Amino acid sequence: MFTTVLRVNFYDADPAGVLFFGNIFRLAHSAFEEMLENSGIGKEYFFNEKYAVPLIHTEADYRKPILPNTKVTAEVEVVAIKETSFEMKYTFRNEAGEFCTTVKAVHVFIDLPAWKKTGIPDRLREFLSGI
């Protein structure tokens, strides 16, 4: 599991003063990017001429509000690895350590020239297996 702390800004809030529901996906992706950068494979993953890795499914469950001008801890883990795709789970906790939100995201590897699903490269499969 990879863990990071992210700041929730005022502009992330909705008129009720809590995190706008869609912004949890931005926070999840920020945690994902940080995990890849810390591992040293960020450039290989995001700027590859052979493949792309789009999201094909996302979902979120909200249990406690996340307020602006606070920090949340994001716990990032891989919950499934298949032939051409993998599923991530992000658990967000507030500054008191209370569970607030979970996000699930499924990524699929696409061969860029053919624009068809392709297998996960060995180096990335190995990396994902260790999260």
> pLDDT per residue over 82-113, tens digit each?
999 999 999 999 999 999 999 999 999 999 99
Question: Alpha helices, DSSP H only, in 14-121?
Answer: 23-39, 42-46
Positions of E strands within 1-97: 2-8, 51-52, 55-62, 70-81, 85-93
Domain boundaries along the sequence of the chain: 2-129
Of the options 3.20.20.80, 3.40.1260.10, 3.10.129.10, 3.40.50.300, the CATH number for the domain spanning 2-129:
3.10.129.10
pLDDT at 131: 84
Which pLDDT score, from 0 to 100, does residue 91 have?
A: 98
The whole-angstrom separation of Cα 88 and Cα 126 is 15
Length of the chain counted residue by residue: 131
User: In this structure, which amino acid lies at residue 49?
Assistant: E
Please, what is the end-to-end C-alpha distance for the chain in angstroms? 5
Q: How many CA atoms lie within 13 A of 111 on its CB side?
A: 6
State pTM to two decimals.
0.94
- Cα 77 to Cα 75: distance, rounded to the nearest angstrom: 7
**Spans of the chain, pLDDT less than 50:** none
